[in-house]
Structure 1
Amino acid sequence: MFVPKISIMEKRIILTVACMAIFFEALDVSVLNMALPGMEQYFHFSPDAIQWVQTLYVLAFAGFVLLGGRLADVIGRRKIFITGALLFVMASLGAGFSVSFAWLLGCRALQGVGVALAIPAAMAIISHTFTEPAEKNRAFGIFGAMAGIGFATGLAIGGLISAWWGWQWVFFINVPVIGTAVVLAFRFIPRDEKTEHPQHSNWLSGALITLLMMMAAWLIHDLGHIAQHPVFFLALLVLFIITAVYFVKRERVHASPLVDFSLFRLKGVMTGNIGALLLGSTFLPYVFLLTLYLQQVLGFSSSQAGLLLFPFSILSGVISKYVLPHLFHRLGVVRTGILGSSFMLAGIVFFILSYFTTWQLPFILGAVLCINSLGMSVTFPAITILAIQAVPETQHGLASGINGTCNSMGGGLGLSLVGLMIQLATVNKWDIYGAGLAALVIVAVVAILQLCRFMFREKVVTAARYAEVPS
């Protein structure tokens, strides 16, 4: 089948469209943190209730992203990307015009579903567009870096937007940008090829994995409240195990499985996905603690906190564009991931020093520099490439869905872990910030060690191959 050649300019536009999607997906995770107080005041709900605005988004994304990756492989990358992006635009518009809390929660969940469809499709589009290994790594590096920039930017501008224009505009800003991405996708992304042997979408497995992700996310989120309803928690855990066993058995015998478990045997896939899980477990709890720290300890307003953080988001963009490509060229993907994870650890240590010394502001600025500007901009692209580069092109949608699920579930796990540490600190009269940050130090160290383990294992394998070659 003849495939038209894509010009360099068209490739750049396609990459820009994909990056717009991942940027606003990542931005939407963090931008609400500074806007939540405004929502709390508007709807007159407690902080615990208003937090569901964030939680439902994460649950919906984690639950549907694997199905989104599968549909991108089966139905078509372009169709699923445009469908997901349009759903995200409409849900953002609806959320901005919310007149009730229930309506806002529903729109927030639909946003999660929209990005769960769009992001795996965007990654599959990049893989299909950039065929040379070097340009593909460079494209995925830019794509992953935009996620890191989105996280950092959302944390910075959330307070500014909510303070100057109102919390509704954290949703309205999505509409013109993602709407433009949809128009460009219609114009420049090539139409999906018709496969000679179409596969079934396997909707039942999609529903099962979505149910599993939802239950897992709920169990993690509710981990700190087991004592209040132990019977319900135990029943849900048993149901989760039974459903998981049935899902695995079904996938192993199904003619068109949703999850190909053989992917996890490919080089780097397991390490990249564990890295995504640990990165989510570090960053989202850090955002949560930083938001509280700036406003409750240092006394910043939401707009002041936004102004403080904004330059670091600009710096993350500079690093992604000018520094990251050189790191990949000089260090390779794995060493770059180790460097980025080390910055994440250093940032947490600076956060601890800020809280336990008298030089609060200088150390907290060091923490933001290491995590917002350096850590996320370097680590996220590295683990994304690692999780996908060895996967066959026909399964890149699924592989990116798995990677997104790991990162999202990691965020839920990390938030629950920090929540547990805070509860224990309250009961035992420990320091709340010290307990939460100590847990993040452990997670960050594990992230570095698992990447080092992969690097040394690859060195051993390479040395063994050279030893087998006859002189």
Structure 2
Amino acid sequence: MSQSPPLKSRPLALAVLSTAMLMTILDGSIVTVAMPAIQKDLDFSPAGLSWIVNAYLIAFGGLLLLAGRLGDLIGRKTMFLAGNAVFTGASLLAGAASSPGLLIAARFLQGVGSAMASAVVLGILVTLFTGPAERARAIAVLSFTGAAGASIGQVLGGVLTDALDWHWIFLINLPIGAATVALAVTVLPADRGLGLRSGADVIGAVLVTAGLMLGIYTVVKAEGHGWLSGHTLGLGALSLVLLAGFVLRQATAATPLMPLRILRSRNVSGANLAQLLTIGAMFSFQIIVALYMQTVLGYNALETGLAMLPAAVTIGGVSLFVAARLMGRFGARAVLLAGLAMLVGATLLLTRVPADADYVTDLLPVMLLIAGGGLVLPALTTLGMSGAGADDAGLASGLFNTTQQIGGALGVAVLSTLAASRTEHLLAEGEPRAAALTGGYSLAFAVSAGLLVAAFAVSLVVLRRPATPEPATAPAAEPSRAEV
């Protein structure tokens, strides 16, 4: 059981949750523009440099599900506070790093802290905001934070690296993290959790964490080894065996880490599948468009961040001011389908962008049409959490974040590999470098459009409009009795 904060404290609680999510998302993008400076200063090898990103991604994606369930067991507030403390301490280590090994270790630890905090954010949010309208508004604010974080990270990373040095992209987390922990202690509701005996499945935890970490590692290394290499196929098969063992364990364990009942909900399973496809496609926008601007159009890091800022503004504006109202009137499923249709249109436009593109005529329309993401993300979150009960909210939150990270890892690896292969083929045929790169990116955008069409089909066939919870089945509806 838990004690909810007064109604007037809920906006501050939402601000604390959003700030924690902002740090997590911003930290994933802020490092990308600083990597050349880090490589020069710490003498990273080209292959080792990628592990600044990969170490964070493997820890973050691999531990989300476990962290979400542990939040249900020991208390989500406890998990949130511990995760932010770990992340802030790891940021200090990263900012003070003087060798590649120390920086990679700190980034892994940052991923651990991010997983601990992020896995329970949605679980806390849906029990703080129980009415459909207020929950939709709260989710819209969280989605706005996510949309803004990626672009802010790219711009801020360039500014901090140019004005100060790369150490500050990590050190900036210290005051933010400390303030987040201090406020969270007072404004987030206290909760007791179910107790470790209610689901302390150590074997299941080892299987799923090892399977996810190995799977993400396999994906991020596949581009270097080749998708059909023995390295990729062998580790991929082992990852699938571990995950299959986890599913079998959950079906037979007395206290499973992830009760399979949660997947019986069409909205939980369907929203997670749709998100996997959508995030995989959307990463092509965030990563590949940035590469196109720098490698083909010659933009620098700061110019790239500023050029993509209209996308963040439109996505954030739609998610914050429009999505909740539309979901209240038409339902989350209808809003999701409309947003996915806009994203399909945006990616199809990107397939036609030339090597000598003009920003205003060729790219700005895409930046505006990508506003569909501001409809998709809040609607998916609403649907994905709608089928989870109070006792499983942390688990559902961790599962939702896990599919997001897996979708991102798969999207980056698959689409980057396809783009690189197509570029090499065009170069071999004698195409100029700019045209060959553009051809490779166009293929990636076309595949992205296909992924979004698949997400549209899943959403149309599987998802259903969530029913309004009745008080008898939703004790969280009473502020004084809300369970977190």
TM-score higher than 0.5: yes
- 2:455 maps to 1:447: yes
8 Å contact kept, 1:156–1:313: no
Q: 1:194 to 1:332 in 2, by over 3 A?
A: closer
Amino acid at match of 1:451: S
1:413 is displaced (CA, Å) by: 0.8
Structure 2 portions without partners, runs of 5+: 427-435, 467-484
1:53 is displaced (CA, Å) by: 1.2
Aligned to 1:154: 153
Q: 1:358 to 1:392 in 2, by over 3 A?
A: closer
- 2:440 maps to 1:432: yes
Aligned to 1:123: 122
1:118 is displaced (CA, Å) by: 0.6
8 Å contact kept, 1:96–1:168: yes
For 1:410-467, what per-residue CA distance to the aligned partner results, in whole angstroms no more than 9, with x for missing partners?
1111112113213421442263222222222211222222222236x779xxxxxxxx
1:251 is displaced (CA, Å) by: 1.5
8 Å contact kept, 2:35–2:49: yes
TM-score, reference length from structure 2: 0.87
8 Å contact kept, 1:43–1:101: yes
Deviates more, 1:396-405 or 1:340-349: 340-349
For 1:201-225, what per-residue CA distance to the aligned partner results, in whole angstroms no more than 9, with x for missing partners?
2233212111000111122223344
Percent identical? 27
Aligned to 1:386: 383
Amino acid at match of 1:307: L
1:4 is displaced (CA, Å) by: 4.7
Deviates more, 1:8-17 or 1:376-385: 376-385
Distance of 1:410 and 1:359 partners within structure 2: 31
1:357 is displaced (CA, Å) by: 6.7
Aligned to 1:67: 66
8 Å contact kept, 1:158–1:306: no
Distance of 1:316 and 1:254 partners within structure 2: 42
1:283 is displaced (CA, Å) by: 2.3
Please state whether the residue corresponding to 1:222 is helix, strand or coil. Answer: helix
Q: 1:330 to 1:432 in 2, by over 3 A?
A: same
For 1:215-255, what per-residue CA distance to the aligned partner results, in whole angstroms no more than 9, with x for missing partners?
11122223344559944444323432432332222211111
8 Å contact kept, 1:160–1:307: no
Aligned to 1:410: 407
Amino acid at match of 2:346: G
Structure 1 runs of 4+ with >6 Å offset? none
TM-score, reference length from structure 1: 0.89
What is the 5 A alignment of 1:128-277? 128-193=127-192, 195=194, 198-226=197-225, 230-277=229-276
For 1:153-180, what per-residue CA distance to the aligned partner results, in whole angstroms no more than 9, with x for missing partners?
2233332332223222222222212221
Distance of 2:286 and 2:47 partners within structure 1: 17
Q: 1:98 to 1:183 in 2, by over 3 A?
A: same
For 1:32-62, what per-residue CA distance to the aligned partner results, in whole angstroms no more than 9, with x for missing partners?
2222222233233354432221122111111
8 Å contact kept, 1:156–1:309: no
8 Å contact kept, 1:157–1:310: no
Please state whether the residue corresponding to 2:198 is helix, strand or coil. Answer: coil
Aligned to 1:12: 11
Please state whether the residue corresponding to 2:255 is helix, strand or coil. Answer: coil
Distance of 1:197 and 1:433 partners within structure 2: 48
Amino acid at match of 1:408: Q
Please state whether the residue corresponding to 1:300 is helix, strand or coil. Answer: coil
Deviates more, 1:67-76 or 1:28-37: 28-37
Question: RMSD of the TM alignment (CA)?
Answer: 2.5
1:346 is displaced (CA, Å) by: 2.7
Q: 1:229 to 1:445 in 2, by over 3 A?
A: closer
1:66 is displaced (CA, Å) by: 0.4
What is the 5 A alignment of 1:73-88? 73-88=72-87
For 1:363-391, what per-residue CA distance to the aligned partner results, in whole angstroms no more than 9, with x for missing partners?
222223333xx133322221111111111
Amino acid at match of 2:288: L
